[in-house]
Amino acid sequence: MDHPEARPDLRSLPQEHLAALVASLGERPFRARQLFRWLHLKGAASLDEMTDVPRALREALAARTDLVTLERATEQRSTDGTIKWTWRTRDGKLVESVYMPEADRRTLCVSSQVGCAVGCTFCLTGTMGLARNLTPGEIVEQVHRANRRLVELGEGEAPRPLTNLVFMGMGEPLANYRALEIALELLLSEDGPNFSHRHVTVSTSGLVPMMRRFGEETQVKLAVSLNATTDAQRDALMPINRRYPLAELLAACRDFPMKQGRRITFEYVLLGGVNDTLEDAERLARLLRGIPAKVNLIPYNENPGLGFSSPAPERVEAFQGVLVARNVTAVVRKHRGRDISAACGQLVAEGGPGDPRRRGAGSGPLTGAPRPG
């Protein structure tokens, strides 16, 4: 499912690999750092932008490597300030990312795959299927293109107006682990965007075998998309539960390395009349006992043709009340970007094969998983 690159993509190279490439061209080591900063601090879209890099080196790189960029296919702005971008890859695939500004942060929701193979029944992204994994360069490119566009729009200071990243867009990040790992290394680099690990969150639907490795090899935060309190319920909503049922998933959460003051965010999409009862809330509190956790309650964003509805506000409040009474930190996430189909569970890549409008079903694209706080 990975996209084959005929030549190495400069944007996808870890710092040490870029240094080795530069050394193989007979250049001094400082040129590698110079190139890296152009690629990942300034987000250069071409070698020609790298004006203080010798022309001979740029020509040598152009002859031996590629520099993958994403084309901005669409941009939609919500009345609440949310911006949704659809990006076109070099091979014509479409992926989406979402910018969510708040008073104290500017967050980008990033995609890790073209589509998603998990198939959660309440999520539009799941209707796409999986076309392929994104490369590390394509993952970080979403951040670079967003940063540059936000500067153009006056949304913040160059070179990096974004403050937070959440890997909660299209795809299951842990199913594209190696690309995710490289992308995180690039994004957290001091010579690059220099995001704090405390401000980066990766969401999983519950890919149990990869969770401990992720915890041991990274310092960023983990979010688990839970959405149910019994196996029967979760089997129906999230097919991955048939492979890794709740007992295995929660054991992996308890075993997750809680270094750097980590706690796990559990995302719980409230589906009207399905998983929003007081009994569900009681079970959820029991399931999370002993895990350093926070629960994000996400009232469902209705999608055409999927057969689910939003819960009544009083049911959401009552559900939260049960959790709080059981000493579980629980926050109700406000809806963002619903008027542009940019809310949780609505990412589909506009005009792509999974877009329900191509089948005459109604409204459109966006995110496969919710945003943590």
Full DSSP string of 203-257: EES--HHHHHHHHHH--SEEEEE---SSHHHHHHH-GGGGTS-HHHHHHHHHTS-
The answer to whether residue 96 is catalytic is yes
Q: Minimal CA–CA distance to 330: which of 262, 275, 284?
A: 284
Tell me whether residue 157 is one of the annotated catalytic residues: no
Name the token pair of 298: 């996400």
Q: Give, rounded to a whole angstrom, the gap between the first and last alpha carbons of the chain.
A: 32
For residue 119, the number of C-alpha atoms closer than 13 Å in the C-beta half-sphere is 8
Q: Find the catalytic residue in 27, 96, 141, 172.
A: 96
- Do residues 100 and 82 touch, judged by C-beta distance below 8 A? yes
Tokens 């005009």 — which residue? 351
Q: Are 67 and 46 in contact (CB under 8 A)?
A: yes
116 neighbors 240 (Cβ within 8 angstroms): no
- The two counts, helices (H) then strands (E), for the chain are 10, 12
Distance CA 14, CA 173 (A): 18
Q: Which listed residue (109, 116, 123, 344) is catalytic?
A: 344
105 three-state secondary structure: strand
Q: Report the C-alpha gap between 170 and 172 in whole angstroms.
A: 7
User: Rounded CA gap, 114 and 203, in Å?
Assistant: 16
Beta-strand runs (E) in the chain: 71-77, 83-88, 94-102, 105-109, 113-115, 130-133, 164-167, 200-204, 221-225, 264-270, 293-299, 329-332
**Residues recognised as catalytic:** 96, 344
